[in-house]
């Protein structure tokens, strides 16, 4: 942490303050302090003009730079702000805007545009980007012959349509006449290093400079220094001691759900209800052995991964994804295993997605063996083992220096073998009370409680989707929020699957939960789901929404998310007497106002 700056600072004091900082950090600091000063004075957080830039930066010819972000969890927003901070160090005047708040027709006026956008699920734009995405693909999209632009796309390679929204923006802006400043960059879940490089490259392209030959660019340091405040990350997780691990389901349940309590004392980690906790897992050793057997490789052969030399078995256990197959893994492996069947799969998207579902690395190596596969080649073919994020199920106000999770253990049989979710089974089977799990917080700025505590909330969750709502109600209880809390919860059976039942009943008794509706789908001949309860309570649901309530959904995207949205449109259509199209527009407007919020997976 930097010490508080005195009102007046002489040269000797300034030198003492900045001693030990690298040249890149000094450049970044100048832009950072400018931003702080602008913010403190009530001005717009924009970059300084060329005259206010550090003496080492040449005055750029760019008069205006717009940075648009379309983010689902907040990562895009962070990159956008890092880009703006780095632009400030180069003397660029940058404006950062959420796509949700951007007027699409303004696009015709842009000359220098940076687009940072994520992809939600299988190729869909995040809610904040939906309107602009539809506009540029519609008949009213303007020609953009004067536009210079660049796109940074965020995605997850475990999905077939990786970074599709970024690809859409990049292609459409070019078709409308825009000129790329540089080729689009697609970033997987480990996005920080690619983002730092993209910031460097795109600002150099804008200003016509190339610092690579002289010194590391200030933009790269901006991305790195800005992360100092978040001490614990994927690269440096906090070893959290497990304080409690309790199975929540009753005997005879088909589900296996665990409540875990982890110790954050001494970490300095903070989170808000709606955030997620990322857990760095290790692969199940029997799966590592199956992969080694299928590959016909020795477990002790040394390989280079993440800048260190490790025995192959250790590298596979802690550094490589084994439970999930993705297109890029198949593409790399196909160069070592020239099977016609593998090439046919890669050429046919309709067959590829079903093939990938449920298969793991051992399945791939067994079905398509390779004589050219070496230990190092296998390590290079596989993707790095990513962390898994779980919605946080607690409030720091209610549980100081602790974080709670609700984790469903994933176990299934496929292709003749027993399969286990890499992180859920790690937490359920291999981490006992007293052990540690490596964790860090992932903020989710788009799944937050209303700022006004008097606002009502409607929470719809199924299964482990109950987790963030436990945190919501705990937080509002501790704050004494006057707004009403309504929970609709679904799971198969009342007797075995009513997660946190005693807590919810206690909240009802105290009045900190105003209403509870449950849907236990398998307790009667006709299955009943939370969307059915929503329709049954349509008058009250619409009344709460008209009174300003925020509407939250957490759970499976395909089975819950789409069904709840369809049901809510039917509720609005019925209670407001609207057409189907107008009811859909009403719900869409709730999303735009950020009153309809989802945490779906």
Predicted confidence (pLDDT) per residue in 169-195, tens digit: 999 999 999 999 999 999 988 898 999
Architecture of the domain delimited by 457-600: 3-Layer(aba) Sandwich (3.40)
* Contact in structure between 534 and 577 (CB atoms under 8 Å): no
Same CATH topology for 20-225 and 457-600?
A: yes
Tens digit of each residue's pLDDT (9 = 90 or more) over 511-536: 999 999 999 999 999 999 999 999 99
Average pLDDT, the chain: 88
The answer regarding whether domain 285-381 maps to CATH 3.40.50.2020 reads no
- Predicted structure pTM score: 0.81
Strand partners, 440: 278
- Residues 370, 376: Cα–Cα separation, whole Å: 14
Least confident stretch, 148-162, 391-405, 539-553: 148-162
CA end-to-end span of the chain:
36
User: Out of 3.40.50.360, 3.30.360.10, 3.40.50.2300, 3.40.470.10, which CATH number does the structure's domain 20-225 have?
Assistant: 3.40.50.360
Q: What is the DSSP letter of 513?
A: S
CB atoms < 10 A from the CB of 367, how many? Answer: 15
- Residues 558, 455: Cα–Cα separation, whole Å: 29
Residue 76 burial class via C-beta count within 10 angstroms: exposed 0-12, middle 13-18, buried 19 and up: buried
- 432-436-437 Cα angle (round to 5): 100
Indicate the domain borders of the chain.
20-225, 238-281+387-442, 285-381, 457-600
- Quickly list DSSP for 254-303: S--EEEEEEE-TTT-----TT-EEEEE----HHHHHHHHHHHT--TT-EE
Token couple for 380 = 């290079």
Topology of the domain covering 238-281+387-442: Elongation Factor Tu (Ef-tu); domain 3 (2.40.30)
Tens digit of each residue's pLDDT (9 = 90 or more) over 534-579: 999 999 999 999 999 999 999 998 889 999 999 999 999 999 999 9
**Cα 162 to Cα 80, 187, 188, 280, distances in angstroms:** 20, 9, 8, 22
- 392-568-102 Cα angle (round to 5): 70
Helices (H), 70-191: 75-89, 130-136, 164-175
pLDDT at position 243, please?
Answer: 98
DSSP helix, strand, coil percent of the chain (3-state; round to 5):
40, 20, 40
Token couple for 92 = 């660029």
pLDDT at position 19, please?
Answer: 52
- Quickly list DSSP for 225-260: HTTTT----SSS-EEEEEEEEEE-SPTT-S--EEEE
For 432, half-sphere exposure in the C-beta direction (CA atoms, 13 angstrom radius) is 0
């Amino acid at each position: 942490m930097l010490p508080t700056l005195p009102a007046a600072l002489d040269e000797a004091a300034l030198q003492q303050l900045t001693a030990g900082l690298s040249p890149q950090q000094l450049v970044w600091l100048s832009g950072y302090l400018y931003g702080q000063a602008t913010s403190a004075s009530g001005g717009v957080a924009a970059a300084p003009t060329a005259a206010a830039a550090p003496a080492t930066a040449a005055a750029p010819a760019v008069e205006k730079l717009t940075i648009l972000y379309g983010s689902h969890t907040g990562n895009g927003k962070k990159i956008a702000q890092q880009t703006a901070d780095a632009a400030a160090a180069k003397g660029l005047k940058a404006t950062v805007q959420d796509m949700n708040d951007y007027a699409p027709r303004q696009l015709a006026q842009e000359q220098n545009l940076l687009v940072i956008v994520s992809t939600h699920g299988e190729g869909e734009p995040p809610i904040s980007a939906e309107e602009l995405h539809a506009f540029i693909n519609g008949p009213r999209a303007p020609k953009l012959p004067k536009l210079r632009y660049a796109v940074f796309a965020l995605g997850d390679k475990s999905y077939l349509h990786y970074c599709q929204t970024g690809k859409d923006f990049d292609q459409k802006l070019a078709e409308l006449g825009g000129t790329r400043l540089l080729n689009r960059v697609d970033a997987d879940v480990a996005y920080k290093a690619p983002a730092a490089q993209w910031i460097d490259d795109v600002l150099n392209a804008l200003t016509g400079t190339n610092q690579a030959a002289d010194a590391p660019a200030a933009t790269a340091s901006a991305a790195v220094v800005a992360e100092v405040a978040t001490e614990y990350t994927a690269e440096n997780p906090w070893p959290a001691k497990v304080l409690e691990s309790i199975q929540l389901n009753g005997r005879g349940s088909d589900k296996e759900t665990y409540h875990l309590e982890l110790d954050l004392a001494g970490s300095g980690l903070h989170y808000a209800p709606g955030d997620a906790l990322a857990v760095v897992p290790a692969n199940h050793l029997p799966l590592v052995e199956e992969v080694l057997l299928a590959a016909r490789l020795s477990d002790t052969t040394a390989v280079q991964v993440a800048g260190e030399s490790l025995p192959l078995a250790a590298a596979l256990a802690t550094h490589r994804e084994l439970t999930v197959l993705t297109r890029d893994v198949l593409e790399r492996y196909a160069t070592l295993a020239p099977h016609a069947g593998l090439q046919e799969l890669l050429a046919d998207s309709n067959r590829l997605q079903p093939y990938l579902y449920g298969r793991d690395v051992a399945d791939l190596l067994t079905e398509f063996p390779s004589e050219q596969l070496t230990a190092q080649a296998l390590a290079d073919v596989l993707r790095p083992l990513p962390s898994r994020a779980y919605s946080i199920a607690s409030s720091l106000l209610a549980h100081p220096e602790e974080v709670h999770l609700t984790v469903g253990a994933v176990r299934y049989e496929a292709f003749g073998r027993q399969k286990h979710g890499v992180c859920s089974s790690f937490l359920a089977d291999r981490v006992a009370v007293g052990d540690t799990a490596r964790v860090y917080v992932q903020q989710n700025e788009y799944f937050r409680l209303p700022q006004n505590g008097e606002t009502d909330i409607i929470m719809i969750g199924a299964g482990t989707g109950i987790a963030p709502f436990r945190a919501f109600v705990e937080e509002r209880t501790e704050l004494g929020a006057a707004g009403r809390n309504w929970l609709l919860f679904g799971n198969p059976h009342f007797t075995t699957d009513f997660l946190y039942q005693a807590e919810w009943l206690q909240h009802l008794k105290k009045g900190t939960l105003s209403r509870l509706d449950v849907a236990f789908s398998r307790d009667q001949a006709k299955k009943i789901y939370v969307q059915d309860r929503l329709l049954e309570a349509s008058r009250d649901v619409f009344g709460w929404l008209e009174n300003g309530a925020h509407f939250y959904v957490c759970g499976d995207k395909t089975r819950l998310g789409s069904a709840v949205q369809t049901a809510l449109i039917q509720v609005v259509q019925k209670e407001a007497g609207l057409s189907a199209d107008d009811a859909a527009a009403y719900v869409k407007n709730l999303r735009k106002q950020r009153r309809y919020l989802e945490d779906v997976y």
